[in-house]
Amino acid sequence: MPVSDMVRSYPADLGEIDRDALVKCIEECLACAQSCTACADACLSESDEQLPMLRKCIRSNLDCADVCETTARVLSRHTGYDANITREVLQACATVCRSCADECGQHASQHEHCRVCAEQCRRCEEACNTLVTSLG
Amino acid sequence: MPVSDMVRSYPADLGEIDRDALVKCIEECLACAQSCTACADACLSESDEQLPMLRKCIRSNLDCADVCETTARVLSRHTGYDANITREVLQACATVCRSCADECGQHASQHEHCRVCAEQCRRCEEACNTLVTSLG
Amino acid sequence: MPVSDMVRSYPADLGEIDRDALVKCIEECLACAQSCTACADACLSESDEQLPMLRKCIRSNLDCADVCETTARVLSRHTGYDANITREVLQACATVCRSCADECGQHASQHEHCRVCAEQCRRCEEACNTLVTSLG
Amino acid sequence: MPVSDMVRSYPADLGEIDRDALVKCIEECLACAQSCTACADACLSESDEQLPMLRKCIRSNLDCADVCETTARVLSRHTGYDANITREVLQACATVCRSCADECGQHASQHEHCRVCAEQCRRCEEACNTLVTSLG
């Protein structure tokens, strides 16, 4: 993915943001959005016995996919930068990733897709927290 | 828009959330996402002299459209409800709406699309704040 | 929703597009995206016996919500207008709305949310088809 | 990105779809959505003289980001699979990627972000066309 190429070729000053943390966070948000969309769908394909236990997991996945996608978009824009917006969006994203990781984590031993998705949510939560911290 | 019909036909308990405030907030988020997408595009069609002054406005519009759309989606889901996520998403949405209203407001006397969009952003900010308060 | 105000305040020529059909289609796409997001979630809240029968319905709802949202965004932009893109996006949207209406329609007698959503999908399909026809 | 892990861990049959082409296409759509969001913003940061020439490029970028994101989501779902929807969404995506690649390509010699983005759009167009062909 050319995330770092796009950040590097930005024609104006990026300010004091940590570029490596920014690139990492955009990449993790995109990966997490995809994992969550796919995990929600994989949950839907589980057996009639399993499916009712996965309601909350599917809903968490759908919320997490939406918030991660929007976070990746907000982070990909630097013109007219507003640190308050970035910070609040990142905090909401870290919260929804943690919640989804916890929920998927409860099904990780039974469903491989939940295990992979929980790990991706943890990586995304961490990347959001690292970037928030670097914003000062 | 059948937002209230969909809320009314939800097959489980919605908990203590204020239904009217919920319906209102979803409707305002959708209207705001559309206004901001359209305002960004209308700004792009302004004259060569005007366009450079609208950079920050376009970027605010794009961020606001994304956050409002995601907020409408999160609010439209009630299964496995997590008040922390709803609260943080609503707060981020109120912040981005206020910022976009301020920015569009600066161009409202010159550009009708900025005037209409600023008013919509104010309505959406208010609806988010009202719903956050009702969450307790 | 200020969709018509935003279309009216666009600072350049909209070309030969039918403005009423455009406004109507944007409004129906937004309403349909919301109905489908809410219907997917309402399906998730149905009983353990019902839930397994609603797998395909939930998936159709999620696809339809995504395609309708993107269609509303593409239709809200007029700068650098490309009729081929508009036409193909509208055709994909009409197809996914028809498919989702058919699927929700099969559960309409049992689930009020599916009935409301199926009707909204039909309105959106019709609005997309009307707008495609008006593009010539 | 764990796209291939998520595809591999899907608990049901994926049918006759080419898994490698599917994974590739999802990855290219996500990368393209990000490149286009970032390129639109980078264009907004160009000089007052350059900016008016980039109107159509910004709009193409925004359309392409939205369509690629929705395509990645539709492709990430397999439950209740409908080949007609997949095919029409992929065709719309290939069209919007080609159009955006052409537009960005015209600015590639002047703006590095347009060069990187044009190449990404070409890769995504190709991945969509390959997957459409494999659908039969």
Structural domain contains residue A11: no
Structural domain contains residue A84: yes
Nearest to C59 among D56, D58, D80 (CB): D80
Cα–Cα distance measured from residue D17 to residue D136, given in angstroms and rounded to the nearest whole number? 9
Tokens 């969009």, residue? B117
Cα–Cα distance measured from residue A53 to residue C48, given in angstroms and rounded to the nearest whole number? 9
CB interface of B with C, residues 96-125, below 8 Å: 111-113, 116-117, 119-120
Q: Quote the percentage of chain D above a pLDDT of 70.
A: 100
Cα–Cα distance measured from residue C9 to residue A133, given in angstroms and rounded to the nearest whole number? 42
Which residues contact residue B132 at a Cβ distance below 8 angstroms, ignoring those fewer than 6 apart?
Answer: B87, B90, B91, B94
Average pLDDT over residues B34-51: 97
User: Which residues of C are less than 8 Å from B69 in CB distance?
Assistant: 69
Give yes or no for residue B136 having a pLDDT over 80: no
- D80 vs A45, A53, A114, B77, C56, CA distance in Å? 9, 20, 20, 21, 5
Structural domain contains residue A25: yes
Cβ contact (<8 Å) for B41 and D59? yes
Q: Quick one: pLDDT band at residue D59, thresholds 50, 70, 90?
A: very high
Cα–Cα distance measured from residue C32 to residue C39, given in angstroms and rounded to the nearest whole number? 10
Neighbours of B57 (CB within 10 A): 27
Cβ contact (<8 Å) for A62 and B69? no
Any chain A CB within 8 A of the CB of C5? no
Give the end-to-end CA distance of chain C in Å, rounded to a whole number.
28
Tell me the pLDDT tens digit for each residue of C95-134: 999 999 999 999 999 999 999 999 999 999 999 999 999 9
Average pLDDT over residues A16-23: 92
Structural domain contains residue D11: no
User: Which residues of D are less than 8 Å from A113 in CB distance?
Assistant: 6, 9-11
Nearest CA-CA distance, residue A14 and chain D, Å: 11
Across A29-51, b (16+ Cβ under 10 Å) vs e yields bbbbbbbbbbbbbbbbbbeeeeb
Average pLDDT, chain C: 96
Q: Which domain does B97 fall in, by range? A: 2-6+17-135
Structural domain contains residue C12: no
Any chain C CB within 8 A of the CB of A48? yes
The values of phi and psi at residue B76, to 5°, are -80, -5
Structural domain contains residue B12: no
Neighbours of C72 (CB within 10 A): 28
Give yes or no for residue A136 having a pLDDT over 80: no
Q: What is the pTM of this model?
A: 0.98
Tokens 């989501």, residue? D73
Tell me the pLDDT tens digit for each residue of A43-90: 999 999 999 999 999 999 999 999 999 999 999 999 888 899 999 999
Q: Which amino acid is at D85?
A: I
Give yes or no for residue B9 having a pLDDT over 80: yes
Tell me the pLDDT tens digit for each residue of B20-32: 999 999 999 999 9
CATH number reported for the structural domain that contains residue D99 in this entry:
1.20.1270.360
Neighbours of C109 (CB within 10 A): 9
Q: Quick one: pLDDT band at residue D103, thresholds 50, 70, 90?
A: very high
Give yes or no for residue D114 having a pLDDT over 90: yes
**DSSP codes of every residue in C90-135:** HHHHHHHHHHHHHHHHTTTTT-HHHHHHHHHHHHHHHHHHHHHHHT
Any chain C CB within 8 A of the CB of A53? no
Cβ contact (<8 Å) for D88 and C80? no
| Number of domains chain B is built from | 1
* DSSP type of residue D71: H
Give yes or no for residue B65 having a pLDDT over 90: yes
Nearest CA-CA distance, residue D61 and chain C, Å: 11
**DSSP codes of every residue in A2-36:** THHHHHHT-SS--TT--HHHHHHHHHHHHHHHHHH
ipTM higher than threshold 0.95? yes
Structural domain contains residue B21: yes
- Best probe of the A interface among C47, C54, C62, by most A CBs < 10 A, is C62
**DSSP codes of every residue in B30-62:** HHHHHHHHHHHHHHHTS-TTTGGGGHHHHHHHH
Cα–Cα distance measured from residue A46 to residue D78, given in angstroms and rounded to the nearest whole number? 12
Cα–Cα distance measured from residue D85 to residue C69, given in angstroms and rounded to the nearest whole number? 15
**DSSP codes of every residue in A83-112:** HHHHHHHHHHHHHHHHHHHHHHHTTTTT-H
Structural domain contains residue C93: yes
